[in-house]
Amino acid sequence: MTEASPDLELGFSVGPHLVAGGLALAPMAGNTNLAYRRLCRKFGADLTTTEMVSSVALGFDDQKSLALLERGAEEYPVAAQVFGADPEALAQAAAKVETLGFHIVDLNVGCPVPKITGGGGGSALLKEPELAARCVAAMVAATSTPVTVKIRAGWDDENKNAPEFAKRMEEAGAQAVTVHGRTREQRYSGVADLNLIAEVAKAVHIPVIGNGDVECIESAKRMLETGVSGIAIGRGALGRPWLFQQIRAWLNGEAVPNDPGPATRASLLLELGCGVTELYGEFRGMRIMRRLTADFLKGLPGAAKLRARCNRLQCFADLEGLAAAYSSGESEGV
């Protein structure tokens, strides 16, 4: 086991809100619903963030968008993430987020999906730092809720402008910045540029949260060595919420718990399924669980044979049957 270094510590504040442990669950569309955030909190995530919502849609009180902003009373601190490229719409969205009781409002300048960047939002704002600064300044002026920004390394390898961009966000009033170490063109391929994340950490005075490729103790240590104040874990926590507990134990110099076995995973899967069903109803909930269930079983004995069964989940009883089969070791025969 990698020994924790007393010289490497995590923890930061966003406005009045202390994120003492420094471990955050990164926002992920289709994944970080309230039920999944609660599960990650159970294992030690200190900061959670909603799925991203359209600032324009919030301005119209769109019910689908508002449904993504379900907030647990126990979530502290919790951020709502919004996207867009219009300062006025983002200002209205920030004010709306405040009325909903969130502690932080986060501007998405990282999403690489064409339907988001095509409208000028997400990582497209990396090419428009002055517009992005106006967006942040408008949000700051519209709310007393602290504003943070999630960015990428840059648009492409020729335009890795994250350090300069982060400075501009700080000047505009952002109180923290999260940096995903990949460019927009990389999307989720290749590896995160930890050297660039280190440059961002040196460039600004606000907290910098590092994001990208943290999926074990060793990768958490590499991220910590960049000088960040916090670590945001995204895909590494999909189906593995206990990763937060393992990293926390390592940071505290404690024995790192092993990954849970099939019975515990099955129990956690049912807990998640209950939460998702409560949020979205059984019909929609089980369609969401098709993907989340596959994440929980990835890489385990018999998981390949269960994958087709994941894709056929129709009701909660189907999920119970799948969990029972895996827990009892029957997965080889399903």
Residues marked as catalytic: 111
Name beta bridge partners: 18: 13
- The answer to whether the CB of 22 falls within 8 A of the CB of 11 is yes
Listed in sequence order, the DSSP H helices in 298-334 are: 303-310, 316-327
Distance CA 317, CA 274 (A): 11
Per DSSP, the chain holds a count of helices (H) and strands (E) of 13, 11
Name beta bridge partners: 147: 105
Residues 6+ apart with CB under 8 A from 193: 153, 160, 181, 182
How much of the chain is helix, strand and coil, in % rounded to 5? 50, 15, 40
| 3-state helix/strand/coil string of 110-140 | CCCCHHHHCCCCHHHHHHCHHHHHHHHHHHH
Distance CA 325, CA 163 (A): 50
Distance CA 27, CA 31 (A): 8
Phi/psi of residue 2, nearest 5 degrees: -70, 130
Phi/psi of residue 295, nearest 5 degrees: -65, -40
